[in-house]
Amino acid sequence: MKNLIDLKGKVTLITGASRGIGKATALLFARAGSDLVINYFRNRKEAEKVASIAKTRDVQVEIYKADVSSKSQCEKMVDFTFKKFGKIDILVNNTGIWKYAPIDKMTVSQLKETLSLNLESIFYLTAKVVPLMKKQGGGNIINISSTAGQRGEAYHSHYAATKGAIISLTKSLSTELASYNIRVNCVAPGWVDTDMSHSSLIGKDRKWILDQIPLKRAAEPEEIAGAILFLASDLATFITGEIINVNGGAVLCG
Ligand code: NAD
């Protein structure tokens, strides 16, 4: 009998998948039967580990090194995926950086790094996969935003601006691409315990952070991956242009 969520025969490209939310997503998608391209930037060993766990689910897995802030590297990665598998069904734009920068101290290079990695990368990858998805009769794009994109974030205004832009980009592309059977959705996590946020979650701000989350804890990466998988699945075939908040209720209190 077919599983309720079954990605067998699907091909998924996930950016920043050697750790954190990207890793959890890769492993969950492998459990659901999807073949994978796991993008990493620096840590090949960690990417190999993720790939070897994923392969125990009897799926095909490739790892691919690319700096997603580079247009040409994004394009080469999509070409690689297409050559290897002959299609790309699902693109998960997960990569992101979150750096402290008060507005009057923010350098131009800090600003550009965040804009380019968090936002431009999504334009590069999406622009390259869309013609392939159009040709193959459909596809699924899932972007990772943040509560910061909805309510802003002090000292991280560049980050929050990219995450807000990801929400409007998702909505724009969902209507632009709907007639091609390409769904475009977004998951907006609140605090998640990953390398990105761990030092804040165990530091002096811990109490202040947890006080703003009705569920009184940060998410595990797997809890974000669940929402991403749902959007990629056939349970979500009528959902496009949607932002799924996964934040323990936090956005209600911010
Ligand atoms: P993370 O730091 O563990 O993962 C980020 C990934 O991006 C890493 O695998 C890293 O290697 C990769 N990366 C960094 N620079 C890259 C580059 N130039 N090219 C390719 N890959 C690169 O953080 P995470 O928490 O797993 O974050 C995943 C996504 O979730 C991000 O978009 C982040 O903004 C978002 N998010 C995280 C939280 C949180 O609390 N952790 C909250 C809201 C949203």
Task: Give tens-digit pLDDT for 75-91.
Answer: 999 999 999 999 999 99
Task: Say if residue 166's pLDDT is above 70.
Answer: yes
Task: Say if residue 2's pLDDT is above 80.
Answer: no
Q: Mean pLDDT score of the chain, rounded to an integer?
A: 96
Predicted pLDDT of residue 13: 98
Nearest atom within ligand 1 for CA of residue 19: 9
0.95 exceeded by pTM? yes
Task: Say if residue 254's pLDDT is above 80.
Answer: no
CA of 194 to the centre of ligand 1 (A): 8
Which sequence positions are flagged as catalytic?
Answer: 159
Residue nearest ligand 1's atom 3 by CA: 20
Any atom of ligand 1 within 6 Å of the Cβ of 194: yes
Task: Say if residue 168's pLDDT is above 80.
Answer: yes
Nearest atom within ligand 1 for CA of residue 144: 32
Contact in structure between 169 and 143 (CB atoms under 8 Å): yes
CA of 26 to the centre of ligand 1 (A): 14
Identify the three-state secondary structure at position 233: coil
Amino acid at 155: Y
Predicted pLDDT of residue 1: 62
| pLDDT, tens digit, 9 for 90 and up, residues 137-161 | 999 999 999 999 999 999 999 999 9
CA of 22 to the centre of ligand 1 (A): 7
Report the share of the chain in percent with pLDDT over 70: 99
| pLDDT, tens digit, 9 for 90 and up, residues 194-226 | 999 999 999 999 999 999 999 999 999 999 999
Mean pLDDT in residue range 7-36? 98
d(CA 156, CA 115): 12
Exposure string (b/e) for 204-219, b if CB count within 10 Å is 16 or more? eeeeebbebbeeeebb
| pLDDT, tens digit, 9 for 90 and up, residues 110-145 | 999 999 999 999 999 999 999 999 999 999 999 999
End-to-end Cα distance, the chain: 44
Task: Say if residue 56's pLDDT is above 60.
Answer: yes
Report the share of the chain in percent with pLDDT over 90: 96
Residue nearest ligand 1's atom 31 by CA: 96
CA of 208 to the centre of ligand 1 (A): 23
CA of 23 to the centre of ligand 1 (A): 10
Any atom of ligand 1 within 6 Å of the Cβ of 212: no
Nearest atom within ligand 1 for CA of residue 118: 32
Task: Say if residue 24's pLDDT is above 90.
Answer: yes
Any atom of ligand 1 within 6 Å of the Cβ of 93: no
Count of beta carbons in the 10 Å neighbourhood of residue 31: 17
Please, what are the domains in the chain? Answer: 11-246 (3.40.50.720)
Q: Which of 163, 140, 142 is nearest to 152 (CA)?
A: 163
Top mutation candidate among 21, 99, 145, 191 for ligand 1, by most atoms within 8 Å of CB: 21
